[in-house]
Structure 1
Amino acid sequence: MSETSSREPSVTGSSGADGDLALARRGDRAAYDRLVRPLLPELHAHCYRMLAASHDADDALQDALVKTWRGLGDFEGRSTLRTWLYTVATRSCIDLARARGRRAMPVDLGPASARAVVDDAPSGDVAWLGPYVGHARQGTTSPAARYEEREAVELAFVAALQHLPGNQRAALLLFDVLGFPAEEIATMMRTTTTSVNSALQRARATVTRRVPDPSQQATARRIGDRQLNAVVQRFTTALEHRDTDALIDLVTEDVTWAMPPMPHWYAGLTAVGDFAAQVPMGNCGSWRTLPTSVNAQPAVACYLRPDGAPSHGAWAITVLTLRDARISGITSFLGVEHFTALDLPAELPPIGQ
């Protein structure tokens, strides 16, 4: 991709950026930081899509930034700095994915459970897909990109990517999400344009089979903010009141509920209703909630206060997947670390205090 391409904003297109690049090549770290800082959100989102875990994305992005800093003296400017950063970051992601393996959701481990597993325990030997708490930015206005930036971090899309080999994953993201041309991707991935096009064809077939249509962004636009917020409010009210019937009234007949790192998951009204009644609505304790957003989808921060505890502690970030104005998927990511990433408090006082 040339530096004058309309599909890619040039980082080196202004005199200020050119000056910073010259300074950075001479070892000025502050100038380098000024150059890369505007690109960090979109690069981190790319690494998350590749790796499906924010902490892995952190590692890959840090590795890429160190490598580009150390190699800046050899950067010849035949592409934009942004292209070079994406090249290095993508290779770092492929290497990390190869070393750590693909990340999974409970649905990948086996069939749904027909009844609630009340003594379910976290599975520590599974590399779990994690939530994305950032704000995706791509920096491209290319009409050729198939996915909107928010669609490209939705849970279903990120989970589908994990079923692709690293080269297919990279080709799909670089072409369909970020708008790089196949010829440029071939250079970035040290392969041929024919190989890139072949990888794209296979990747699209896999993703199409696994990602439902319409996207969550299209669903949200169709039902509108008011109705979307009403669904979230009804869900939180049902949880806080421990009202299983109210929750079941909100969901589709084929609703699913998963709680990584718990390995069991549930599908359908009967199984989800049984799980809801026996676990979150059962003897867990009382709940408080805060609305939030994760993976560009509506989400609820769920705080649990077991009987006798002085406060509600961070328990799970629950992401809601909608079909029309009903909930078709509930994914509860357990762990206080997700609250920290969202700048949410680790505990809440009981209602009325």
Structure 2
Amino acid sequence: MTELVAAPGTTLTRTELEQRLPAHRRELTGYCYRMLGSSHDAEDAVQETMVRAWRSIDGFAGRSSLRSWLFRIATNVCLDALKGRRSRALPMDLNAEASPPVESSLGTPEPAETWVGPISDGAVLPASSDPAEVAVARESVRLAFVAALQHLPPRQRAVLVLRDVLRWRADEVAELLDSTVASANSALQRARATVAARQLDAPGPVDPPGEGQKALLERYVSAFERYDMDELVALLREDATQSMPPFRLWISGAQDIAAWMLGPGSGCRGSKLVQVQANGRPALAQYRPDPDGDHVPWGIHVLDLSGGKVVRITSFIDPTLFPRFGLADRL
């Protein structure tokens, strides 16, 4: 994004600030989402950033770009929000072993603040024509990466996102965090090591968007809506996994996923799926049938595709997510 730099000593009016803020909202939302692991928290943090900026505009004297000034405010908002809060996670982070595909594995739902949540691509990915820039942005919001970030101390988290995702220079990060370049570089190395260790179970190279991915998704939607588990299993890699926040269980293996769908998950029979994009990945919004004959929101399934197969399904069972993806409240 082009930096908007005022001349030293220049002040902005509140009207001018309000006109410029929308151009920064998407990038700030992506930053706050990576920091906080929740689309709801990210939206709240961006709104608080905008409010703080509006209130303190008299203190902006053009010594830095408007973008840098907003990121300083957003970083402080996120650091404040993270104080005393436990890290968000995915089910694989909480349970080392996969669950058998039986109803007793379901357990009770955990509070929403336990989990890393999904976010719509439209809220965070840059409106760029540069394929390389878009590819980097997609990888930096994938669920496994965002979950790994949550294991970092908050300031290390900020350093890693600013340096490796947003490509800030070390001196810029040091200035934003009121630190030294040496300290910022040390934090970056520690953060990189931690995140790399947390992602050792990566499902393999991700299939790029294209006709192959489109065809796979169409077959997946067709098999799911017909509830043809033989066809669905054929689309899954043998070691595919499925998790279902807000529940702790996760299932490993294509056959166990099908067993779950035909057993405890059989209430999904007759569902309709709508394709969306979440966390830089293809995703499906599931509407389950209700007694009135309509279909009502049930969950958002984020899919990882590799080698022409579905290798990971993260199913967020949360109808309140649907408005965040611009989806209807019933079909």
Question: Normalising by structure 2, what TM-score?
Answer: 0.89
Matched, 1:266 2:251: yes
> Which position in structure 1 is the counterpart of 2:171?
183
**Whole-Å Cα distance in 2 between the matches of residues 283 and 9 of structure 1?**
50
In structure 1, give the amino acid aligned to 2:233: I
1:196 to 178, 181, 184: 184
Q: Does 1:293 align with 2:286?
A: no
Residue-by-residue CA offset, 1:279-321 (whole Å, 9 max, x unaligned): 34x2444111111111121011111115x44211110111110
* Contact map agreement 2:227 2:269 (CA 8 A) in 1: no
The 8 Å contact of residues 203 and 306 in structure 2, kept in 1 or not, is answered as: no
> Using a 3 Å threshold, how does the CA distance of structure 1 residues 168 and 259 change in structure 2: closer, same or farther?
same
- Tell me, yes or no, if structure 1 residue 117 matches structure 2 residue 108: no
Is residue 12 from structure 1 mapped to residue 29 from structure 2 by the alignment? no
The answer for the alignment partner of 1:333 in structure 2 is 316
- Percent identity for Structure 1 against Structure 2: 37
> What are the Cα deviations for residues 54-93 of structure 1, in whole angstroms up to 9, with x where unaligned?
1111121122222222222122322101001111101211
8 Å CA contact retained: 2:139, 2:145: yes
Q: Deviations over 1:135-179 (max 9, x none)?
A: 33459999x999712221111211111111111110010001111
More displaced stretch, 146-155 vs 257-266: 146-155
Out of 24, 33, 56, which is 1:71 matched to? Answer: 56
In structure 2, the partner of 1:246 is 231
Rate the CA distance shift 1:317–1:140 in 2: closer, same or farther, 3 A.
Answer: closer
**Aligned partner of residue 331 in structure 1, secondary structure:** strand
Q: Find the counterpart in structure 2 of residue 54 from structure 1.
A: 39
Report what 1:156 is aligned to: 144
AA aligned to 2:78 is: C
The change in CA–CA distance for 1:124 and 1:10 in structure 2 (over 3 A counts) is closer
1:227-268 deviations in Å (ceiling 9; x for gaps): 101111111112111111111111112211011112211112
Contact 1:147–1:177 (CA<8 Å) still a contact in 2?
no
Aligned partners of 1:151 and 1:215 also within 8 Å: no
Q: Given residue 299 of structure 2, which amino acid in structure 1 is its aligned partner?
A: A
2 CA distance for matches of 1:264 and 1:126? 17
Equivalent-residue separation in structure 2 for 1:301 and 1:138 (angstroms): 23
Contact 2:225/2:270, CA 8 A, preserved across alignment: yes
- Per the alignment, residue 264 of structure 2 pairs with 279
The amino acid across from 2:62 in the alignment is G
Distance 1:176 1:33 in 2: 29
- The structural deviation recorded for 1:270 is 3.7
Structure 2 CA distance, aligned partners of 1:98 and 1:267?
35
* Cα distance in 2 between the residues matched to 1:72 and 1:188: 17
How big is each residue's C-alpha offset from its partner over 1:169-218, in whole Å with a ceiling of 9 and x where there is no partner?
Answer: 100100011111111111111222112111111111122233437664xx
Can you give the 5+ residue segments of structure 1 that lack an aligned partner in the other structure?
1-7, 349-353
Q: TM-score, normalised by structure 1?
A: 0.84
2:83 corresponds to 1:90: no
The gaps in structure 2 that reach 5 residues or longer are none
For 1:125 and 1:231, locate their aligned partners in 2 and report how far apart those are by CA, in whole Å: 31
1:38 to 2:23 alignment: yes
Count of aligned pairs: 323
